[in-house]
Amino acid sequence: MKILIRVVISAVALWAATALVDGISVTAGSWGKRALTLLAVAVIFGIVNAVLKPIIKVFGCAFYVLTLGLFALVVNAALLMLTSWLADKMNLPFHVEWFWPAFWGAIIIGVVSWLLNLFVGDED
């Protein structure tokens, strides 16, 4: 149940990014198809973050230290662009145009996810 809640939170955060950032779009026809697309992209984004982010943190540790953590914004933008590429390969109508929309979208996704996770809390 906890994983489903996290996927829905990620989908809402992705929706917020598509609504606020030009260059991030979901081009599905109806609202239902858009919601399903966002849920599928949220799953892809979660898998990409779960697999690649720890590896990047280990190998890019020096960049994180030298930039006082600001390198994480670049990494998050790159992971969002990778998610867009994977969604395109899976014929999902989700697209991120280039780096700057991915950069701002990653910030919005991070903030919205953080805010929504405050309300959900941990059930451990």
Query: For the chain, what is the mean pLDDT?
Result: 89
* Percent with pLDDT over 70 in the chain: 98
Q: Give phi and psi for 28, each to the nearest 5.
A: -70, 155
Q: How would you classify residue 23: left for phi > 0, otherwise alpha for psi between -120 and 50, otherwise beta?
A: left
Residues in the chain: 124
Could you give the number of structural domains in the chain? 1
Higher pLDDT, 64 or 86: 86
Q: What is the mean pLDDT of residues 99-110?
A: 93
Domain-located, residue 13 = yes
Q: What is the pLDDT of residue 80?
A: 92
Rounded Cα distance between 83 and 86, Å, is 5
Instruction: Calculate Rg over the CA atoms of the chain.
Output: 14
Q: What is the pLDDT of residue 27?
A: 87
Contacts (Cβ under 8 Å, ≥6 apart) of 99: 77, 81
Domain-located, residue 51 = yes
Rounded Cα distance between 102 and 107, Å, is 9
pLDDT tens per residue, range 25-81: 888 778 888 889 999 999 999 999 899 888 888 888 888 888 887 888 899 999 999
Query: How many C-beta atoms surround the C-beta of residue 33 within 10 A?
Result: 13
Q: Which range of residues forms the domain containing residue 79? A: 2-116
Indicate the pLDDT class of residue 124, thresholds 50, 70 and 90: low
Which tokens hold the place of 72? 């994480």
pLDDT at 122 exceeding the cut of 70: no
Domain-located, residue 39 = yes
Whole-prediction pTM: 0.85
Contact 10, 50 (CB under 8 A): no
Helices 71-89 + 99-120 axis angle, to 10: 100
Q: What is the mean pLDDT of residues 110-119?
A: 90
Domain-located, residue 121 = no
